[in-house]
């Protein structure tokens, strides 16, 4: 099959409710306030967060206390201030709204 630049593939997107957008935005802001970095796609149901290992972050505990199932996905490196730092990778699933 030859490449046809005029042919466009259908884009399948899941509709995101305004309630879910507001919840995602609020959680994003909350995580940043507590030192986390949200690295997931905006408004996706799964929120992926990186928190520095060197700091004693209470973010995972606070999210669990708020009723979210916090999944620890592993440890990775992140560049911060020109140096590599180790971060914990967490995921939470937003409720369907």
Q: What residues does each domain of the chain span?
A: 18-93
Q: What is the model's pTM?
A: 0.77
Distance CA 5, CA 97 (A): 38
Q: What is the pLDDT of residue 69?
A: 94
Q: What is the mean pLDDT of residues 14-18?
A: 79
**pLDDT per residue as tens digits for the range 22-56:** 999 999 999 999 999 999 999 998 999 999 887 78
Give the chain's end-to-end CA distance (angstroms, integer): 42
Tell me which of 42 and 16 has the higher pLDDT: 42
pLDDT digits (tens, 9 = 90+) for 69-88: 999 999 999 888 899 989 99
Strand, helix or coil for residue 77? strand
**Most distant CA atoms of the chain, gap in Å:** 56
């Amino acid at each position: 099959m030859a490449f046809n630049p005029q042919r466009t593939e259908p884009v399948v997107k899941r509709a995101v409710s305004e309630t879910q957008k507001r919840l995602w935005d609020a959680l994003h802001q909350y995580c940043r306030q507590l030192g986390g970095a949200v690295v997931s796609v905006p408004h996706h149901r799964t929120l992926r967060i990186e928190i520095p290992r060197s700091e004693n972050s209470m973010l995972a505990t606070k999210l669990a206390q708020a009723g979210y199932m916090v999944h620890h996905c592993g440890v990775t490196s992140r560049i911060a201030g020109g140096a590599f730092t180790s971060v914990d990778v967490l995921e939470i699933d937003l409720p369907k709204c």
